Copies of this chain bind each other. A is one copy, B any other.
Amino acid sequence: MTIPKIKGVIYLNGKILPIHKATIPVMDHGFLYGDSVYDTFRTFGGYPLQLCEHIDRLFRSAAKLALKSPLAKKEIMAHVLRTISAYWKQFKKEDVYVRVILSRGYGDIGFDLSLCSHPTLIIIVKEIPRLPEKYYQNGIHVALVPTLRNPPRSLDPNIKSGNYLNNLLAYLDAKKQNAQDAVMQNYKGEITEATTSNIFIIKKGTLYTPSLDSGLLKGLIRTLLIDIARKNHLKLIEKKITKEALLAADECFLCGSIKLILPVTRCNNKKIGSGKPGPVTQRLMTLFPEAVTHSIREEYCIDF
């Protein structure tokens, strides 16, 4: 079997290994049931953006599944930094993708929590997956898809878990429609989010993003952008957004911890606004690096 090469390292229960050598037991419930939580982020200048907030969210996801971390938050953060450093030593690249996974661990078949006494902590550090530059310059094409977002009463989208088939199915729907990503609706037809990002639209200069009660992940870049908008006196409203509002928007973009701000210029094969990234989207893309610098300066008490 030819193994696709991935540049990266993995912290696994105390050891740092090459990415392709890190293995878990078949009987880990993270594999058998997707019974795991994770959080993902990237570094800027070597510093993980919003590290504290991501680890806080990891623990909130875990609490919703009654999953207890074997390590304290501070210890996990220290291991994240240590794993980033191990990556740097090997690959000499400062900026990396990080995924922290907490899995239920090894145990016999069944749901009883007593079956798994040792949760597994994993930290993946690897090169940042880069979308083509033209996606950022021209915007991407999204599709409204038949797969509907998991409702919070079935599986809360605020649990970032190892159950990702709902999103994968939506992504496969989008591919069938020749789109780069899917926009998922809830059972009332409200827009929720894309498969791995939050969504914003702009109409007559005002930013709109789906309110959390539509059933979506409270993304940390979403929160950061709301903050940037407020500080820069851009009008922003969180509310229920219909498919019609999305199709009639002047501008649209997705945001997430890895892709950051990604303009959307077509939906269901129709142009959004002028069909090019609009002025408000571009303004936010310009303001974003400064906000990142500010956030990292605050978190790590440094000047860079």
Contacts and interface: CB of A to CB of B under 8 A. Distances in A.
B33 A165 contact: yes
B168 A111 contact: yes
Interface string A115-134: 10110001010100100000
A66 B26 contact: no
Contacts of A33: 34, 162-165, 168
B146 A150 contact: no
Interface string A148-174: 111101110001011111111101100
A35 B4 contact: no
Contacts of A115: 4
A165 B167 contact: no
Among A3, A12, A109, A126, the one with the most B-chain Cβ atoms within 10 Å of its Cβ is A109
A128 to B, nearest CB: 10
Interface in A180-215: 187, 195-196
A19 interface: yes
Interface size class of chain A, counting residues whose CB lies under 8 Å from the partner chain:
35 or more
A99 interface: yes
A36 B159 CA distance: 20
B150 A155 contact: yes
A107 interface: yes
Interface of A: 1-4, 6, 10, 12-13, 19-20, 22-28, 30-36, 65-66, 97, 99, 101, 103, 106-111, 113, 115, 117-118, 122, 124, 126, 129, 146-151, 153-155, 159, 161-169, 171-172, 187, 195-196
26 contacts: A1-B13, A4-B107, A6-B108, A10-B26, A12-B26, A19-B27, A22-B25, A22-B27, A24-B31, A26-B101, A31-B103, A33-B164, A34-B163, A109-B129, A111-B195, A147-B153, A147-B154, A151-B151, A151-B187, A153-B187, A155-B165, A159-B165, A161-B165, A162-B165, A163-B165, A163-B166
